Amino acid sequence: MQQTATPLSELAPGLSAGRVHWNLSVPELYEAALRRGEGHIAEGGPLVFVTAPFTGRSPKDRFIVEDALTSSEVWWGGFNTKIAPAAFDRLYERVAAYLRDREVFVQDLQVGSDPLHRLPVRVITESAYHSLFCRNMFVHPAEPALPEFTVINVPSFRADPQRDGTRSETFILINFSRRMILVGGTGYAGENKKGLFGVLNFLLPAQGVLPMHCSANAGDAGDVALFFGLSGTGKTTLSSDSQRHLIGDDEHGWSDAGVFNFEGGCYAKVIHLDAAAEPAIASAAQRFGTVLENVVMREDRTLDFEDASLTENTRAAYPIEYMDGIVPGGLGGHPQHIFFLTADAFGVLPPISRLSRAQMIYHFVSGYTAKIPGTERGVTEPSATFSTCFGAPFMPRHPKIYAEMLADRVELHGSKVWLVNTGWTGGPYGTGRRISIADTRRLLRAVLAGELERVQWRREPFFGLEIPTAVPGVPSEILSPQLTWADPQAYLEAANRLARMFRENFARFTPDLAEVAGAMPDPTR
């Protein structure tokens, strides 16, 4: 057991615990989790936890303390909900009293692999499971540093909305002045990771660094590609390419020196995990040290990745070193190519198209994908989802700030930006078919190899997207969605409908981003 010279109360005034475990190793955290009845070991060695009833994040329960530091800097509304400093202080005092006689686990880590832009953090949890998750997901500092932000996570503590000013018994409170995140009422470990991502999304732009909700990889020559996308669009899958080297699978910064990973691990969605299509992820998900969330384990301790009875959002959290061929240190150069991934369940968008500057800003701020039946309770037909900057719940500042930072960097470094549909073709969900991972990989590899520099292009009428007429190794008909539909009129109606949804969503941004109005789709054709 590694001790530390910094007591809990130095960074968290008034905080103490009956027993404190400092920076336990993976085997020690296994022992503690099993002793406490938090999880079970599955075949191969991963530790399986059930977080029900919370099997995903609770973005509506996230609050930012409004004070002199945040009042004029945060884009209030949507997922950025205000809470008063006094309310935070009262709830903090109640949590501190709750932990006074309890067992806690502490990890001193850092977020950010770039030494110039790292954030040393301390994570204090009441469960060994969360401590192991954070040890897997964050960066282990080469040299100890006094933490600059503290996360206190107490899943078994419930807020009192009437007393505490929260929406429910669950709470995720971010206090930038006190450099602290307070989490309670939920066992879902992803709140630790995304809470700190939100912190970096507020802090880094002031340092001239663009924070990004994207994965990243590099070729043998060091050429970097970024993959933006919401859950289910293929961000993790497509960046984990056997022909390239993984920088990171979810969160990155883009500084004057290049791209750097925020994390030291991967948090892969593993429902319907296909070992043939995703061998590296399948291998990592079944190793000792890996944390599995809400994956069903059979009586013989084998894993059933097809079983979604607990949730569609089954996850594996493991150190990035469990992946073959990674980029050591999580650092890369400036990206040559940037892919915006969307899983269009309406079957309208082409599998690949290249974007102008205005289109890049428009689609980045729109952050479109679609939900399909079964992914969430109550979703019975495809529905459009728009998440600004492909990560609305984690973006404290106005989307224009992130969009203009991205556009300026793309222009400065000559990056090329592409819209990639990993969703449906030949019709909407239920009628058409999903574009195969193999076809999408072939398209991306063609881009990365420069093959699309030698093909002809045509312009799609509804979104004004430039589409290649042919790509070697890919069926030409899928490049033009309307050609894959059996009923041309049905395609026109679907395209018009999706174009209208895009325009309706973007109306709230038009006053601040009027210069990209020409990139908006035309639903009148």
Q: Is 269 among the residues known to form the active site?
A: no
Residue 142 has pLDDT above 90, yes or no: no
Q: Which residue has the tokens 């005092």?
A: 93
The residue among 23, 147, 20, 173 whose CA lies nearest residue 93 is 173
Sorted by where each starts, the structural domains of the chain and their CATH numbers stand as 8-209 (3.40.449.10), 334-519 (3.90.228.20)
Q: Is 236 among the residues known to form the active site?
A: yes
Residue 153 has pLDDT above 90, yes or no: yes
Handedness of CA 213, 74, 405, 387 (dihedral sign): positive
Q: Is 354 among the residues known to form the active site?
A: no
Mean pLDDT of the chain: 94
159-199 tens-digit pLDDT: 999 999 999 999 999 999 999 999 999 999 999 999 999 99
3-state secondary structure string across 290-325: CEEECCEECCCCCEECCCCCCCCCCEEEEEHHHCCC
Spot the catalytic one: 114, 249, 250, 344.
250
Spot the catalytic one: 118, 122, 135, 213.
213
State mean pLDDT over 92-120: 96
191 phi-psi bin (left φ>0, alpha ψ -120 to 50, beta other): alpha
Top-confidence residue, 149 or 510: 149
Residue 453 has pLDDT above 60, yes or no: yes
DSSP 392: G
Query: Is residue 299 packed enough to be buried (19+ CB in 10 Å), middle (13-18) or exposed (0-12)?
Result: exposed
Residue 522 has pLDDT above 60, yes or no: yes
Q: What are φ and ψ of residue 323, in 5° steps?
A: -95, 140
pTM listed for this prediction: 0.94
Spot the catalytic one: 62, 235, 244, 371.
235
Q: Is 57 among the residues known to form the active site?
A: yes
Return the pLDDT at 307: 96
Q: Is 213 among the residues known to form the active site?
A: yes
Residues 6+ apart with CB under 8 A from 119: 110, 111, 112, 148, 149, 196, 199, 200, 203
Tell me how far apart the terminal alpha carbons of the chain are, to the nearest angstrom: 67
| CA separation for the pair 460, 463 (Å, rounded) | 6
State mean pLDDT over 368-380: 65
299-310 tens-digit pLDDT: 999 999 999 999
| CA separation for the pair 107, 131 (Å, rounded) | 7
Is residue 17 within 8 A of residue 100, CB to CB? The reply is yes
Return the pLDDT at 1: 40
**pLDDT tier, 373 (very low <50, low <70, confident <90, very high otherwise):** low
Spot the catalytic one: 194, 244, 252, 334.
194
Spot the catalytic one: 4, 6, 81, 231.
231
Return the pLDDT at 135: 98
Spot the catalytic one: 21, 130, 315, 371.
315
Q: Is 235 among the residues known to form the active site?
A: yes
Return the pLDDT at 377: 47
The Cβ-side half-sphere exposure at 203, using a 13 Å CA radius, reads 19
Residue 192, SS3 per DSSP: helix
